Amino acid sequence: MKKYYYYIPLITFILLILFFSRQLFLNKDPSHLPSVMLDESFPKLEFNQLAKYNLLTIEDIFSYDKPSLVNVWASWCVPCKIEHANLMLLKNKHSIRIYGINYKDNLKKADEILNLDGNPFYSIGVDSSGRIAINLGVYGVPETFILDRNGKIRYRHVGPILEYDIRETILPILTKLEQDD
Amino acid sequence: MLVELGHFCLALALSVSILQFVLPIIGIKLKSTRALATSTYSSYLFFCLVSFSFISLMWAYISSDFSVALVAQNSHSLKPLIYKVTGVWGNHEGSLMLWILVLSLYSLALSIIGKNIPLKIKSIVLSVQGLIASAFTGFILFTSNPFLRLLPPKLEGEGFNPILQDIGLAIHPPFLYLGYVGLSITFSFSIAALILKQADSIWIKWVRPWAMLSWTFLTIGIALGSWWAYRELGWGGWWFWDPVENASFMPWLAATALLHSSIVAEKRNTLKAWTILLALIAFSFSLLGTFIVRSGVLVSVHAFASDPSRGIYILLMLILFTGGSLALFAKNAPKLKSGNMFSPISREGAIVINNIIFSAAAATVLLGTLYPIFIDALTTNKVSVGPPYFESVFIPLMVPAILLCGFSPMLTWKRAVFDNMYERIIFIFIVSILITSFLIYIRNGSAMTFLGIFLSIWLFLGTIYDFFERILRGKSFNEVAKRIVSYPRSAYGMSFAHIGVSIFILGATMSTAYKTEIETSVQIGDKIIVENKELIFESIKQNQGPNWLADVATFRISHNESDISFLYPERRFYPASQINTSEPAILSRLFYDLYIVLGEKDIKNKNFAVRVYYSPLLNFIWIGIAFMAFGGILSLSDKKHRVSYKTLRKNRNLSIK
Amino acid sequence: MIKLFKYAVILFLCSAPSSLYSQNNTNLESNSLVLQQAKELYEELRCLVCQNQSLLESEAPLALDLKELIKEKLKEGKTKKEVKDFLVERYGEFILLLPTLSLQNLFLWIGPFIFLFIGIIFAYKFYTNFNRSSNKTKTLNPAEKKNVQKILDEKLE
């Protein structure tokens, strides 16, 4: 009689090992998450104004005919400070339009920081309750979305944007989006 | 200096363990009894070296030697002594040291207790133990060395995760490892049986006590971990189906199946391939748990800091031990001869069903734990598999097992006649239904709740009935007393363990279904009323621990005029790590637990957020588990185990083929 | 002896302490339906930023916001399912601790049945194989049977 079924445990185990190896060698961070908002239109949201800065409106986003960035930030968030200089760089050197969403912040302090370090944002919307961020599927600050010219979300960046990220992901995606259509 | 000596001993231990692995193989090839016999001495030597190495590491912790990198990272001079000691295994490197210490202890125990096991079998077992020991010792030395020095040394340690400063958590790893690693002995015995292509009933008799011992330790270890989660995490829950919890639960399920199947293997000399497979799988689950906790493929609150190179090393170990043993199983298991048959309706038949259910349960826990990885690999989506899944799948699986367990001890061996059984089963069934419907009458609850209560009563009555039926067979009181005394310890053990399961089910069901939860914010003088108990927030004061500052609240709990007690929940702040934690205070009575968590302080109006949980019969969970563990110990103390290790003297020098 | 034991059990039952169960769970009724539903939802949703905790067990800022949002939506009269769908639209199925019954999760849900089924097949094979091989073994002759019966009877005494 054939004793093929004695091999079942071994075969099951080999399959398991294949999955484990893939997970290990791809060195994926299991806590990294994709956004489900990808390829969705930027949701129709309403914001409050921050001090003297331009108010972010949904019309702004949809009337602009170039790709843009939406950055979720707060003055209390340390990585946001790291990213600030890079956002300035994107605005000044690469003339990218960046919309800011100020997340659960002390508005006075947010204003102070922009006064001190410069304002990289074309316009700013305040999300004092964190509700808007939830509508965007945001996990925390900082987080950045790349929108195409039609206002569709095309990419999501979690954590601060570093020089490396600008070079390797942000700019290539922006140029690609510009060449499309 | 001591640290370097410990490091050196560990390196020596690696070479000794390699010798322990290699020499018996040479002995078999060259038919040299001397070479075979060295395995015993290797195991002695390995134990001494590893113990010394472990003690030197412990000394570095006790003396707060912050020139040792590991101590500097994980300890703090202000920590209480007990947590300095237990802090040794509170991190990846140290816990591995504990792992091999326990491994060396088991090999030593086997060498000493197993004097009468035929040399050939014993040396193969010790050789496999040597291979496991060298793999793990190598793992420590090459990827996770605990003895590395720091230059320049630190003046103060970097603290210690405050949430880990708890006695339940501190002592649960040793028990858990005694369980995990104990399964290595049953694993090695199974390898020996597969290599020699023979597993007779005396072989099962050697294996069974180790399986029982590991199961008992695992039970205690899991319970301690769960007890810690209950008292520390502050949500009144005690089991979260976290990957790390599942990692300890899977070997437990496999070991439970192994315990039962080995009874059949011993009695009928059959199901041997299956029993061997369970032994292989149980230890593989232990290794898998190690992989899950340390490789970072799954996220968990309990996971150690992960490092891919460690992950690869553990993966290689998994391939070597599990892959190797399963390949050997596929090749040699069909050659094992089977003994006697039994009818599907018999005690053995019931155990077969128990095994199917427990294996399916273990496989299901594995599936749920790893499913996020599968989905991540095969699609671009991410899924979560959480407690609701496990509860909705695991509980229905266990229901038939408990139903079966209620009457299967009454079934006769080999072939049961159901005619004799009807009366008993119907009696137990009616009584259980009566009690349950009485409860339905006096109290609301869901169908699941009453199912749980019914199962608990059913199992309890079934077990008690079986016991009394055996005892009361005596016709006079003298005879009954005699039967009570002569009733085998292993049978007592079984009854205790099953009653433990019943108590556990009752506790788990009641404490979940009738838990009352109050979330509120209170000022001094405020009153909360829970289940006829009055909680008064009397005062708050600042307190200082060895490495924390705390707000300590005083709650006065009055059950009635004369029965008054106090609870002191704390909100702690650890300056070293800048972490706030809540220390729940628990009033634990036999029939209920009252659990108070002091939350964040609202500076504006001097309010404190407070959560109060009232869980009826929660203690039955721990009592039930204690009964199970005690059943394991009783069963271990049965004299038949000693006999099986003693009566072999005449076969001692079994010739080498 | 056994009869005695049975009667004792039934007697004990009749006098069972009912005080233990007599208190009624009034608290549950006083809590509003919304809070009850919200709690059920918290248990089924993942705290996204802390790993392997449900919303119920989490004090992370995002979790607190989500809890607040869920309560509001329920107060607006949304059903549990609508609230879940809203969150899944934004955070994906990852937020659900109880995976949905979809093609992707098919194996997760039928897996336990498959495992049981495999076990039953093996048990069936085990019994039938044995019967086939054990048919060949000889049976006892009448004299032997009598002998065995005698020994058994003695044992049972």
Tokens of B286: 């232990």
pTM over 0.80: yes
Name the strand (E) or helix (H) holding B594: strand B592-602
pLDDT of residue B627: 97
pLDDT of residue B201: 82
CB contact under 8 A, A24 and B315: yes
Bridge partners of residue B535, in order along the sequence = B528, B557
Tokens of B116: 């009468």
Contacts of A28 in chain B (CB under 8 A): 376
Name the strand (E) or helix (H) holding B570: strand B570-574
Decide: residue A148, CB within 10 A, 0-12 exposed, 13-18 middle, 19+ buried: buried
The proportion of chain B whose per-residue pLDDT surpasses 90, expressed as a percent, equals 54
* Neighbour-count burial for B270-289, b at 16+ CB within 10 Å, e otherwise: bbbbbbbbbbbbbbbbbbbb
CB contact under 8 A, B375 and C127: no
pLDDT of residue B404: 93
Chain centroid to CA C99: 16
pLDDT digits (tens, 9 = 90+) for B373-388: 888 888 878 888 999 9
Average pLDDT of chain B is 89
| Three-class SS of B46-79 | HHHHHHHHHHHHHHHHHCCCCCEHHHHHHCCCCC
CB contact under 8 A, B299 and C94: no
Using pLDDT thresholds of 50, 70 and 90, give the confidence band for residue C8: low
| Separation of alpha carbons B338 and B263, rounded Å | 15
Contacts of B381 in chain C (CB under 8 A): 92-94, 104
pLDDT of residue B321: 96
pLDDT value at C9 more than 60: no
Average pLDDT of chain C is 74
ipTM comes to: 0.88
pLDDT of residue C15: 44
Contacts of B372 in chain A (CB under 8 A): 30
Q: Are strands A97-103 and A123-127 parallel, antiparallel or unpaired?
A: parallel
Task: Name chain B's partners: 3 or more CB pairs within 8 A.
Answer: A, C
**Mutation target among A12, A29, A37, A134 for the C interface, most CBs of C within 10 A:** A134
pLDDT of residue C134: 53
Contacts of C54 in chain B (CB under 8 A): 386-387
Decide: residue B66, CB within 10 A, 0-12 exposed, 13-18 middle, 19+ buried: buried
- Which of A22-31, B281-290, B391-400, C62-71 has the least mean pLDDT? A22-31
Examine residue A142 and say whether the peptide bond preceding it is cis (omega within 30 degrees of 0): yes
pLDDT of residue B326: 96
Using pLDDT thresholds of 50, 70 and 90, give the confidence band for residue C2: low
Q: Are strands B516-522 and B533-544 parallel, antiparallel or unpaired?
A: unpaired
Angle between helices B272-295 and B347-378 (to 10 degrees): 30
Higher per-residue pLDDT: B657 or B341: B341
- DSSP-derived secondary structure letter, B305: P
* Neighbour-count burial for B622-654, b at 16+ CB within 10 Å, e otherwise: bbbbbbbbbbbebbbebeebeebeeebeeeeee
Contacts of C69 in chain A (CB under 8 A): 131, 134
pLDDT of residue C4: 52
Q: What is the mean pLDDT of residues B344-362?
A: 93
Examine residue B388 and say whether the peptide bond preceding it is cis (omega within 30 degrees of 0): no
pLDDT of residue B500: 97
| Separation of alpha carbons B266 and B622, rounded Å | 31
CB contact under 8 A, C92 and A34: yes
The proportion of chain A whose per-residue pLDDT surpasses 70, expressed as a percent, equals 92
Q: Report yes or no: A137 at the C interface, CB cutoff 8 Å.
A: yes
pLDDT value at B463 more than 50: yes
Strands across the sheet with A97-103, in order?
A123-127, A97-103, A68-73, A143-147, A153-158
Residue type, B129: Q
Q: What is the mean pLDDT of residues B598-622?
A: 87
pLDDT value at B416 more than 80: no
Residue type, A172: P
Average pLDDT of chain A is 84
pLDDT value at B281 more than 90: yes
Asked if B654 and B119 touch (Cβ cutoff 8 Å), the reply is yes
pLDDT of residue C156: 55
Using pLDDT thresholds of 50, 70 and 90, give the confidence band for residue B134: very high
Q: What is the least distance, in Å, from the CA of A117 to any CA of chain B? A: 29
Q: What is the mean pLDDT of residues C76-104?
A: 88
Q: What is the mean pLDDT of residues B444-461?
A: 93
Chain centroid to CA A94: 18
**Mutation target among B326, B338, B374, B384 for the A interface, most CBs of A within 10 A:** B326
Using pLDDT thresholds of 50, 70 and 90, give the confidence band for residue B136: very high
pLDDT digits (tens, 9 = 90+) for B421-442: 788 889 999 999 999 999 888 8
Q: What is the mean pLDDT of residues B191-209?
A: 90
pLDDT of residue B135: 96
pLDDT of residue B319: 95
Residue type, B513: A
pLDDT of residue C17: 39
Tokens of B277: 């497979």
- Which of A5-9, B486-490, C11-15, C82-86 has the least mean pLDDT? C11-15
- DSSP-derived secondary structure letter, B337: P
Q: Which residues contact B388 (CB under 8 A, 6 or more apart)?
A: C43, C44, C97, C98
Q: What is the mean pLDDT of residues A148-166?
A: 85
pLDDT digits (tens, 9 = 90+) for A83-122: 888 899 888 888 889 999 988 888 888 888 888 888 899 9
Nearest CA in chain C to B396: C112
pLDDT of residue A136: 85
pLDDT value at B54 more than 90: yes
pLDDT digits (tens, 9 = 90+) for B215-267: 999 999 999 999 988 988 878 889 999 888 999 999 999 999 999 999 999 88
pLDDT of residue A133: 86
- DSSP-derived secondary structure letter, B322: I
* DSSP line for B90-132: SSHHHHHHHHHHHHHHHHHHHHHHGGGS-HHHHHHHHHHHHHH
Tokens of A39: 């390829």
CB contact under 8 A, B323 and A13: yes
pLDDT value at B561 more than 60: yes
Chain A, 6 to 45: residues with Cβ < 8 Å from chain B are 6-7, 9-10, 13-14, 16-17, 19-24, 27-28, 30-31, 33-34
* Phi, psi (degrees; rounded to nearest 5) at B76: -155, 140
| Separation of alpha carbons B210 and B411, rounded Å | 26
